[in-house]
Chain A
Amino acid sequence: MKKGGTKIVIVDYGVGNLFSLANAVGLFTRDLVISEDANTINNAEAIILPGVGAFKAGMEGLKIRNLIGTIKAFAKTNRPILGICLGAQLMLTKGYEFGEIEGLDIIAGKVIPFPKFKNADKVPHIGWNKIFPFNKGRWNDTIMRSTGVNMHVYFVHSYIIETKNKDNILALTKYGDMNFASVIKKGNIYGCQFHPEKSGPDGLTIIDEFIKFVKING
């Protein structure tokens, strides 16, 4: 890693609530830039993949900016990444929103629609819901370490992440008649299905922990 690169880069690939995200991350670090430039991303100590969009449009957004290889290479160095919502989903092998689409394949698995539920829960899943650890102790030494079990965070999605390996699941959330992965992890790479930047003070805690984590590992 080159010295002097901007510490944290929010990757601008055309879809994403960039203002909200930069505003929240900016509470914890000034060393932050929004960029679509491959060099800037290469030289970052950590990147954040935002996302409010469809899987297909998201991958197309990365492709036209020639960022697919950049981000995959970044992930191979095990520098910290935080993917949010679509940004987390794109890290999987494949997605199925508007066709079968190749993802970044940083974490093995797929992104599939919610199944039909027997109860009254509707899709998209929009609103505040609880997150809890996949199993006891799994949040230790992760960006979830300061998060309370069953804390409410804000979800807005129609598709869910299904990792191939259950070891990649950090947190679960119950919706309809199922539990789905709400936080995933592989090495220093994290993905949140919910929006920590829009989940009140509790959500900001997760961002704060990610920034602290970058400072230790950067």
Chain B
Amino acid sequence: MKNNQSIKKSSKKNIRIIPRLDIKGPNVVKGINLEGLRVVGDPVELAYKYYNDGADEILYLDIVASLYQRNFDFDLLKSVSKKIFVPTTVGGGIRSLNDITNALRAGADKIAINTYAVHHPEFIAEAVHKFGSQCIALSVEAKKTNDGHWETYTDGGREKTDIDSIEWIKKSISLGVGEIIITSIDQDGAKRGFNLELTNKVIAISPVPVIVCGGAGSLDSVKKMVETCHPEAISAASVFHYRDYSISDLKRYLKQNGYNVRL
């Protein structure tokens, strides 16, 4: 079997499939390259649909909370989680231990941090000390520079930082972060497939689980990424929102190709 070698190399455990809900106001939105946002649906309805279709987790990101220093809409999160009995990872504008406590009291099970941690890395250590590594995921939005590096962006992909994404991920892991959510801004929403170079680089240096995000295209493009990169989890938005295929379609496809998923 052609795939034997790569299957052996990867963990036998189930690859998680995680629909991503980018939240703006009361809506789920989706753009391309994190820009040109369009409303795609109601967060409560979409989350419930994905839960019933076999989502292993839900990634729930308020994509403008950070940009406008706005407070997170905890009531909306509560409505979403009420019908969902798989974990919800919540991010967007999280900037204090209190924000984390409040999110956990409103339906979050794990927390994703990005912008605030970039400017205050010590916040990662504080959060891990209280909530444990397993609760704190680092979300990294990366864009390739002309000289071939990956640069970290904040505020929903709007702000450049001059911070090398790979170095930043290494540092965050040393500060105790328990999971990495890596998004390639250039691939996001384009449905052309994941950025394999970035994904490989991140997975190579990460002893903690990696959720690969940004670019899911055809079923085959997802399989290709799994074969090449062996991620712990895959997150996708556009392909599910626009019904290219369902979560259970993707899981069955991966299963048929020799990868473990929870069916």
Contact = CB atoms under 8 A, between A and B. Distances in A.
Contacts, number: 126
7 contacts: A15-B104, A24-B85, A123-B208, A126-B209, A127-B232, A156-B110, A198-B87
Given A129-B13, A156-B110, A200-B85, 18 more contacts: A14-B101, A17-B104, A19-B108, A52-B132, A52-B135, A57-B132, A119-B12, A120-B11, A122-B209, A124-B134, A126-B16, A126-B134, A127-B14, A127-B56, A127-B209, A200-B86, A203-B85, A204-B85
Nearest to A197: B85
Contacts of B86: 154, 198-200
Interface stretch (B123-131, B150-158, B183-191, B237-245): B123-131
A129 B14 contact: yes
A83 interface: no
A91 B70 CA distance: 39
A45 B12 CA distance: 42
Interface of B: 9-14, 16, 56, 78, 81-82, 85-88, 101, 104-110, 128-135, 178-179, 206-209, 230, 232-233, 262
A203 B262 CA distance: 14
A54 B233 contact: no
Contact of A128 (B14, B130, B132): B14
Interface of A: 14-20, 23-24, 52-54, 56-57, 86, 97-98, 119-124, 126-129, 152, 154, 156-158, 175, 195, 197-201, 203-204
Nearest to B178: A124
A54 B126 CA distance: 11
Residue among A18, A122, A199 with the most chain B CB within 10 A? A122
B104 A120 contact: no
Contacts of B10: 120
B163 to A, nearest CB: 24
A201 B129 contact: no
B228 to A, nearest CB: 14
A123 B16 CA distance: 15
Contacts of B81: 19-20, 23
Contact of B133 (A14, A127, A158, A204): A158
Contact of B178 (A97, A126, A198): A126
